């Protein structure tokens, strides 16, 4: 009887607390689908935010082709941020680094010229290269990591049927906006110039403008190579065909004071008529080509007259060449940007869904264990 009395007395001291339960599995099916989709977007965005800068800012300078060398060189020291400064094991890669060093150094300025005899100009270049990219990588990786942490916290809290704190979404959301600002500030100029130079710009009206990004890398005078642009579909660089000769004029020589028109082959690159459909002055000398047409570079290479500029923008098998460095740069910057956008969307929606889930939460009674222990 005494034990029963003490139990009744103890039960009066134990306090019950009503708390919301985060039972995601008990929510409507549409809510489950939305939450699953947003979590997947967050996981993808976090991974892409980490992978993008690691790909786009760690290019191998030895993979850069001659077709893009002058264009990258034009960016000067700004281009150094995109390359792995330690991966220079070819004369071509070293030449690119030397050009950037020259743009950084000034013989008239002892500070810019690195007057400290303990370090070389190349050492300074490598330090600046690594230091310049460090902040951008840190912002992107931190934003991606916090987004991944927020998604995993949601999963863990869902298993324990508790609501996650709001800051797990607020922090990566702020970092993601900072990441987008940093991307636009750093990469917008470079990103805008990256093109696939074998594709036709279908969004343009005139044919000449549709072909504005098409680049043919072919022989120049004095045994050099350079860019040719086109304003014709088909074999734009073929001046050997009879109809081409008639259209652009036959190549002529003066013999004994008389003009003599030679029979085909007539014009052959690097010779071209002033109004021909394939000329250096038609080439865009600023854009960076991930893919471009290539011709006249040896016995096994495609002849320039056989390059077929198709209206659908898809080249034939051996006509095009890929610049691995610019291709990786374009992929890395695109992944970087998409990752930042995914992070903003995922964290913003998860924060909104958290408010909605709390509003419609099911409340259960829980025993306040601290008060129960004190009573015992």
CB atoms within 10 A of CB 313: 16
As a whole number, the mean pLDDT across the chain is: 78
93 has a pLDDT exceeding 70 = no
Q: Name the residue with tokens 């259209």.
A: 247
Quick one: tokens of 63? 């993979």
Is pLDDT larger for residue 262 or for residue 317?
Answer: 262
Gap between the Cα atoms of 9 and 369, Å rounded: 17
104 has a pLDDT exceeding 80 = no
pLDDT category, 261, cuts 50, 70, 90? Answer: low
Is pLDDT larger for residue 375 or for residue 271?
Answer: 271
Classify residue 47 by burial, with Cβ atoms within 10 Å: 0-12, 13-18, 19+. Answer: middle
Considering 82-96, 209-223, 333-347, the range whose residues carry the highest mean pLDDT is 333-347
Considering 155-169, 245-259, 341-355, the range whose residues carry the highest mean pLDDT is 341-355
- CA terminus-to-terminus distance, the chain: 18
Mean pLDDT of 331-343: 92
Q: Do residues 39 and 63 touch, judged by C-beta distance below 8 A? A: no
Q: Residue 139 belongs to what H/E stretch?
A: helix 121-160
| Strands 216-220, 291-294: pairing kind | parallel
Gap between the Cα atoms of 216 and 240, Å rounded: 17
Is pLDDT larger for residue 226 or for residue 257?
Answer: 226
**Which range (2-16, 36-50, 138-152) has the least confidence?**
2-16
Mean pLDDT of 133-143: 88
27 has a pLDDT exceeding 60 = yes
pLDDT at 72 (0 to 100)? 82
**Which range (4-13, 65-74, 300-309, 348-357) has the least confidence?**
4-13
**Which range (122-131, 222-231, 345-354) has the least confidence?**
122-131
Q: Do residues 148 and 319 touch, judged by C-beta distance below 8 A? A: no
Peptide bond into 265 cis (omega under 30): yes
pLDDT at 305 (0 to 100)? 87
At residue 21's C-alpha, the angle toward residues 361 and 365, to 5°, is 110
Residues whose CB is less than 8 angstroms from the CB of residue 118 and which lie 6 or more positions away in sequence, other chains included: none
**Which range (41-55, 82-96, 220-234) has the least confidence?**
82-96
Is pLDDT larger for residue 77 or for residue 152?
Answer: 152
pLDDT category, 115, cuts 50, 70, 90? Answer: very low
pLDDT at 117 (0 to 100)? 43
Quick one: tokens of 49? 């935010």
Is pLDDT larger for residue 338 or for residue 114?
Answer: 338
Which residues does residue 364 pair with via DSSP β-bridges, in sequence order? 19
Q: How far is CA 3 from the centre of its chain?
A: 74
Q: Do residues 39 and 343 touch, judged by C-beta distance below 8 A? A: no
Give this prediction's pTM: 0.75
pLDDT at 168 (0 to 100)? 92
Helical pair 29-56 and 121-160, crossing angle rounded to 10 deg: 170
Lay out the sheet containing 216-220: strands in order across.
278-279, 224-230, 216-220, 291-294, 320-322
pLDDT at 263 (0 to 100)? 63
User: What percent of the chain has a predicted confidence (pLDDT) above 90?
Assistant: 22
Gap between the Cα atoms of 340 and 14, Å rounded: 50
122 has a pLDDT exceeding 60 = no
6 has a pLDDT exceeding 70 = no
**Which range (61-65, 104-108, 115-119, 243-247) has the least confidence?**
115-119
Quick one: tokens of 9? 């007395």
pLDDT at 242 (0 to 100)? 80
Between the alpha carbon of residue 341 and those of residues 37, 50, 147, 151, 295, the distances in Å are 15, 13, 12, 16, 40
pLDDT at 103 (0 to 100)? 59
Classify residue 361 by burial, with Cβ atoms within 10 Å: 0-12, 13-18, 19+. Answer: middle
118 has a pLDDT exceeding 50 = no
- Nearest 5°: phi and psi at 8? -65, -40
**Which range (160-164, 324-328, 361-365) has the least confidence?**
361-365
Peptide bond into 270 cis (omega under 30): yes
């Amino acid at each position: 009887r005494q034990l029963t009395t003490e139990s009744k007395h103890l039960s009066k001291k134990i306090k019950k607390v009503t708390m919301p339960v985060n039972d995601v599995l008990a929510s409507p099916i549409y809510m489950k689908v939305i939450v699953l989709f947003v979590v997947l977007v967050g996981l993808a965005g976090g991974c892409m935010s980490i992978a993008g800068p690691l790909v786009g800012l760690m290019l191998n300078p030895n993979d850069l082709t001659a077709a893009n060398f002058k264009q990258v060189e034009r960016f000067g020291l700004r281009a150094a941020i995109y390359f792995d400064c330690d991966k220079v094991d070819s004369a071509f890669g070293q030449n690119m680094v030397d050009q950037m060093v020259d743009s950084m150094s000034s013989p008239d300025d002892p500070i810019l010229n690195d007057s400290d005899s303990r370090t070389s100009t190349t050492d300074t270049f490598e330090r600046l290269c690594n230091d310049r990219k460090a902040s951008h990588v840190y912002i992107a990786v931190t934003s991606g990591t916090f987004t991944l942490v927020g998604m995993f916290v949601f999963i863990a809290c869902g298993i324990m049927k508790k609501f996650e704190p709001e800051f797990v979404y607020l922090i990566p959301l702020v970092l993601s906006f900072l990441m987008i600002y940093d991307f636009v500030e750093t990469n917008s100029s470079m990103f805008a110039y990256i093109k696939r130079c074998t594709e036709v710009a279908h969004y343009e009206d005139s044919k000449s403008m549709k072909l504005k990004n098409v680049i043919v890398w072919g022989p120049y005078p004095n045994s050099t190579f350079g860019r040719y642009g086109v304003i014709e579909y088909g074999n734009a660089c073929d001046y050997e065909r009879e109809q081409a000769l008639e259209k652009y004029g036959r190549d002529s020589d003066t013999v004994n004071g008389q003009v003599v028109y030679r029979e085909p082959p007539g014009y052959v690159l690097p010779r071209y008529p002033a109004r021909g459909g394939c000329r250096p002055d038609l080439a865009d000398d600023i854009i960076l080509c991930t893919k471009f047409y290539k011709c006249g570079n040896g016995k096994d290479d495609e002849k320039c007259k056989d390059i077929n500029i198709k209206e659908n923008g898809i080249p034939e098998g051996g006509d095009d060449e890929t610049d691995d460095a610019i291709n990786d740069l374009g992929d890395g910057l695109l992944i970087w940007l998409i990752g930042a956008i995914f992070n903003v969307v995922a964290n913003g929606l998860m924060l909104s869904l958290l408010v909605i889930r709390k509003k419609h939460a099911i409340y259960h009674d829980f025993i306040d264990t601290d008060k129960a222990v004190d009573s015992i």
